Amino acid sequence: MPVPVLSDPGDADMGPPEAGARSRFAASSSIPSFASVLALDRRAVAGLAILLLFAVGYAVQHFWLARPEAVAVPALAAVAAPSGAEPSVPADSAPSRAGPGAGAEAVPGTGPAVVVDIGGRVHLPGLHTLPGGSRVADALRAAGGPLPETDTRNLNLARILTDGEQILVGEQAPAPGPVVGSGSGPPGAVVPRPPVSLNRATLEQLDSLPGVGPTLAQRILAYRTSHGSFRSLDQLRQVSGIGARTYAELRPLLTL
């Protein structure tokens, strides 16, 4: 007769052995998976931290290089004027000083037009109207230039023209002096030549006066250009180079 096997009452509560084994396997398999996820999260956090540090460093460097920098301006050292030196005056505010050479700075086209009589060996002799401040060279061009083989060395081509003057090219101006008259007087009688107009005389006419050379004649014309017409013969004394003796010789030969 078979002997019945008695089972432990506690075994009935624990259930089948297969079910317990599966539970233990599932619990043990979940532990490595969580550990791997945790390790992956740590690597991601470390990468994000490195990336964040790099971004912060780049931003700091960018703002540091782009910051405005103050540029030091060197102070200008004041230069003290030497004692006794006069302060400089701008050229446009300096008073003009008219002198014998002031007319040499005239520019063509400044001032009223001038009419000159150009004669001698030129292509177009006669009266020519030129802008104020023109020179003898301009008048010579207006007359078509000198004829071939004409000597113009006696002309000052840089001289400024005056209204009403006469320019003889290649010829000598007649010297003022006594001329032999023909008329009611006895034969061979000497008739005084009319005096030279101080306000209309040319360079050649002034040069022919006693005691006046080309340089002094040019000074008289320059003075007349810069100061205007002479108002009296005594004003000739203001021209540099004309003293009392020269003026006494010239006065009987001049008129306004």
CATH classification at residue 122: 3.10.20
Query: Is 249 found in the same domain as 210?
Result: yes
Torsion angle of C-alpha atoms 87, 91, 96, 101, degrees rounded to 10: 110
pLDDT classification of 94: cutoffs 50, 70, 90: very low
Between CA 163 and CA 132 the distance in angstroms is 9
pLDDT recorded at residue 61 = 79
In contact, 213 and 207? CB cutoff 8 Å: yes
Highest mean pLDDT among 125-129, 191-195, 234-238, 250-254: 125-129
pLDDT recorded at residue 129 = 94
pLDDT recorded at residue 134 = 93
Residue 243 domain-assigned (yes or no):
yes
- In eight-state DSSP terms, residue 172 is P
pLDDT recorded at residue 128 = 93
Q: Who's near 151: CB < 8 A, 6+ residues apart?
A: 170
Q: How many CA atoms lie within 13 A of 46 on its CB side?
A: 6
| Predicted confidence (pLDDT) at residue 89 exceeds the cutoff of 50 | no
Residue 61 domain-assigned (yes or no):
no
Query: Is 215 found in the same domain as 159?
Result: no
How many domains are contained in the chain?
2
Q: Who's near 239: CB < 8 A, 6+ residues apart?
A: 100, 216, 219, 220, 223
Output b/e per residue, 42-81; b: 16+ Cβ within 10 A: eeeeeeeeeeeeeeeeeeeeeeeeeeeeeeeeeeeeeeee
Residue with more model confidence, 40 or 81: 40
Query: Is 230 found in the same domain as 200?
Result: yes
Burial of 143 (0-12, 13-18, 19+ CB in 10 A): buried
Token code pair at residue 192: 């005084």
Between CA 241 and CA 194 the distance in angstroms is 25
pLDDT classification of 193: cutoffs 50, 70, 90: low
Percent of the chain, pLDDT > 90? 11
Between CA 157 and CA 169 the distance in angstroms is 11
Residue 36 domain-assigned (yes or no):
no
Token code pair at residue 108: 């063509």
Give the end of a domain, one of 143, 172, 201. Answer: 172
Query: Is 196 found in the same domain as 168?
Result: no
pLDDT recorded at residue 153 = 83
Residue 91 domain-assigned (yes or no):
no
Query: Is 197 found in the same domain as 159?
Result: no
| Predicted confidence (pLDDT) at residue 83 exceeds the cutoff of 80 | no
Token code pair at residue 13: 């509560």
Rounded to 5 degrees, what are φ and ψ at 91? -65, -35
Can you give the CATH number for the domain in which 256 is found?
1.10.150.320
Residue 86 domain-assigned (yes or no):
no
Around Cβ 34, how many Cβ atoms within 10 Å?
9
Provide the residue range defining the domain that includes 140: 105-172
| Predicted confidence (pLDDT) at residue 130 exceeds the cutoff of 90 | yes
Query: Is 168 found in the same domain as 207?
Result: no
Residue 35 domain-assigned (yes or no):
no
- In eight-state DSSP terms, residue 89 is -
